[in-house]
Amino acid sequence: MKRITLICAAGMSTSLLVTKMNAAAEKSGILVKIRAIPESEILKYADDTDILLLGPQVGYTLTKIKTLYEPKGIKVAVINSVDYGMMNGEKVLKMALELK
């Protein structure tokens, strides 16, 4: 089971996207654990994460987050702003699972 953590400024706007991603996963029979957290809590959940997705509003932290977490085997990416704005859980889930 992949563990996906979405990060945004307060963890609130990504909560709806988590709901949509969970629905897409369930529809496709994919077992994942997805959560949304504020950027300030990343240390608390890093050891329980395989994939970190940054909301577009915190995309400026990509280099810093990659430097800190990719050496630990955690994949890091910024969510496409159109998919984020449309709350396209299916596309964001697919993008997360295809990260290399």
Q: Which residues are catalytic?
A: 8
Structure tokens at 22: 């969970």
Q: Which one, of 11, 10, 36, 12, lies nearest residue 22 by Cα?
A: 36
Instruction: Decide if 24 contacts 90 (C-beta within 8 A).
Output: yes
Task: Report DSSP letters for 15-38, one per residue.
Answer: HHHHHHHHHHHHHHT--EEEEEEE
Side chain identity at residue 92, one-letter code? V
